[in-house]
Structure 1
């Protein structure tokens, strides 16, 4: 019992948060994963000195510590800088070039769900990289230990990359030993400022005798480290073969290639043949194309055409060549005038799994399955995910669709015309067109624009562009029903609106409301609570279902979530002002409403994300169906007015409605008896009572309870505050 208590006390719930201004904050949070308290203490101290210090401490000081996904992501990012730093020679300036833009973009896409993740950009990563560089330069200068000593003080596992190079070359003139090995080292700079590469055997004479022995030991230290982990290298060192050119057979070259990561982590520079442009021999890949043609039926269940081939550098291999690869036992195969890396068992397994996917659905693949294949998001065992040996590419039709969804600004406009009594801003027009494409394809959408960017008017404009053969349904918190009704009357007066709520309909008429009474209605507006109490409404086949404040659906076990997800519709739209990708469980529940099946079952998704280390494929999978514009976006900023005022209409709670109705009756009775100036005084007194009841019943009763659920204004304020809090913004009440 004592040990269990001690174990719990030694853990702290803490994580990193990215602020809207691009600052990293390490802090304790109740919903953060647990980390050892000593680690939390170290990181708290480091990040209190600045992001650069914190990132260096995380990347250099915790290279082997088991970390939760968010901390692991930032450790890996800062570790990239430290790893690049190890390639700098002691006597050279501490200059580490920035990663290429493409790499930074890939890192942003791969970021795990975290608070503030929507603010992460390549520019922010560049800024953090430069901060780390400034910290390391200052620390190395003041430590007087040199770079190696500084890194060793952070963690003993860091090694400077030495000057020893292991070179592997092709030797086509020798069929029995088609590869050659040579170990070299870099000496002083040559006449043109380039490092000279000399055979490693020369180092024995250059550094022989006296004080130079220490230099020789330092030079050979990476070789010693690698030999401790590679048996074949230990034999070469013991026999002195590492100092001489060697003829290698295929098996020896394969053995070398398998241990390249070990050699590099030990500080040895590995140089492979220049024609191996990817840094390794070419690999055959099981390549599938999905969605070449337009499917006959649209929607998540649409079957897309699927074709498979084994390719080499993008060119399909013949059946005979494939069989030769599958029969290979050495790991390298000479084919089409080049050496090809082969893993026969892996290839055979992938071919079988792709054939299984193709055959499971009668020659086609459902849209959801195709999307997962294309994104490389392995959310169930049926989807092959091995990017080193396989690839899935979109066919012409699917590539066109996905490109349009990823670039809403380039879509042809879906224009509501004069039916919309307002002028849409450019980004709103793009949003309407994006929604229109998805609804037309019977796919769902998540419109997650910042609060104040006009999600309501975009949905109303969309409804005006759709054929009104069947009614659509909008479900929202009760506190927003009045707002939707007012906005619809103002901007889309031609829409025939029905508010299905006790505050707007006779209870008996509401209870019997069904498909038969909706023939002359374009849009039904109701609340989540009312929907659960109206089974006839749940049985209607809707054209479109829109869920406002869709974070209300984040709990998949809640009754209101189940009620909304049971609705039948051609397409579904979720509206939310909070970041939808910051919590994986929320993301699944939301997409289970908008795109049932896209993220697999709840159990499969949970199990898959527990093992997930790279989140890029998951983001790629959901990205076409989420549109989130921020007020901080440059393209949006230039289009916004200096100030935006939004009226938030609030309905009365049940308690407020009863008190209000009672007060109205009392006023009627009072006025029937009052006369003259007394009558006017009574009216003024009751106006104050009405105002107090509308604010909160406790203001009128004076009981000091102030229960939030008793006030429509309190409930709406809570919803607004929750949205603003999720976006790490501030509000003045």
Structure 2
């Protein structure tokens, strides 16, 4: 129940001028016979209590329920009649003149905004009160032009400007964006459903040049403590080990002082610029102030009564330092900013002993790396595959080599490539690949101008990891650094123990599956910047996967200074085109029946399984999916002994025959070694020359086969996806065939870029063979959710996360 104001009132006598020189006189309410009291709603919270007398009844009988019409020529007689009854009724007249006795007062046209709580929001009405702070309310421009009534025991009359009332009310409504953007239920009445809209309206009403009269007939629901901007903020910054501690306060116009930490807590993760203070009042923040506070909330961790931000994120506070009313910092802060300024103005010079001519974008990459090294922070060179990350990294190592040794950690398959590239482009570096022999002596003898190349496989060995961690390297490069994306692996743990003055990771896929991988990469190059994993998941990964744009933008701002990512389309106008085509494989009836039997069997076994959801169940589902994927390639891969003719192998043969007739060469990738074995048998049977490479191929033999293919020995190169997907230059081929889709399109992209890279002179076509109505189609459908995962932070698009057990089960059920 809401309080209602009851006021004594009189019936209304309406005198309205009509067309054709007529005047209509009517009573409101119209029929009073048999009634002693009438309640008349003047506003939603104000009722006029009208006591009906015999005089009123007699007037009602004369006028009837529809009123009467008289000629305008009888105006004087009408005015005389009205004067006789003016003490009994409130008269609204359109015909001018003075009715009865009473004091003439000037009409008050000022709009009054009535705010009535309704649901979570407000009902808003604009009304006028012609007799000022007493007397009846009317919607603007309604009622009689001349008004005669009794107010607080006095007979008063006034002349209203009805058009002027409506104009003022409309001007007020137009000046309030909230009202202008909300559909009105009736003239000058609106329903605001959301508290945010209500608070915006209050702020807009308070900011009008001539403050509107605001009335809360049922009590004030929303109270504004005022508006705050950056100029009212005072911030103090001081060094605390690898962090900067922030404290501050905001002083409101009322003199109230709010602690910045408390303000951030009250703000939370909401997007509203209105913050409800402890006393229930709302504080309105300017948009710029809200954005800065949101940045602080995302970038600064809570630490006791203060916030703290990692020293490497200090540049992000510079805008706040410039905009805040007061910003007090210590010497450590000023030195940090001075070092950053020095790095920004540094003009790096390419080492004169680099035996290569860099493209413009590669020079930009070298300059960027040199500036970050000067600043004293790590870097992630995330250029697209094939843009020469190795050459840019070599140029940087060469420039820093006189002050100490360099270390490159790379996949086994590309260690020899690093060696040959170093000999070719940086011959003054003394390069060694860590292998057999006295490793301790080899490592301990490292000095200036030395470059040691070590595989991730060797890094996993405790003895090697311990030896490497005892050397202070001038520069460390982790090539294809997605190899350490999983923090729980031995290689990741060993990498974290390496000591390097400047740490660089190179990768074309900084995020392959989920944002936790980015966190681990940054733990290597700039430890602490992204906080703990728990903090990172709470502040960034979780909100981003839920689609929260502010979190994505905050993470992007935090890492973008340390990540350089260029796409081929941006920097290599001369690179030939790349076309991707999916070839649909129609399984035979026998293959279809075989596949469906496997699928049903898998579902039955999984439904019977009592394994708990999570690790064991997840593994069981993956095993079932693996069997279905192998069945799509060849029945014998799923069930040895059953060898149905393979539709996929037949389509591959048709496609390859056409390519070879037209003098093309092809790279053929499969993740299954035994699938490659079937393809080898097919090529042998057809007499087609080829090269072959999988994870068991020794490093020296890999290089030999790659060089042979590049020299023209072989029309086809069969490669296992994981073993040959990185670090190889195979531009002799202009076609790529993926025999079976992998979960992550980034891995396929890397493999395809063995052909589509610098040095390629012909357009490259990429075929994917996908079995229709099978698990393979479901996997390809997942690609669109994962392809832009890296760009969710690096370029600002949406992201995805890990695939759950339930999602995997659904793939089998629907495949």
TM range (shorter): 0.3 to 0.5
Q: Which has the higher contact order (CA 8 A, sep 6+)?
A: 1
Rg bigger for which structure?
Answer: 2
- What TM-score do you get using the length of structure 2 for normalisation? 0.41
Greater per-residue strand proportion: 2
Greater per-residue helix proportion: 1
- What TM-score do you get using the length of structure 1 for normalisation? 0.44
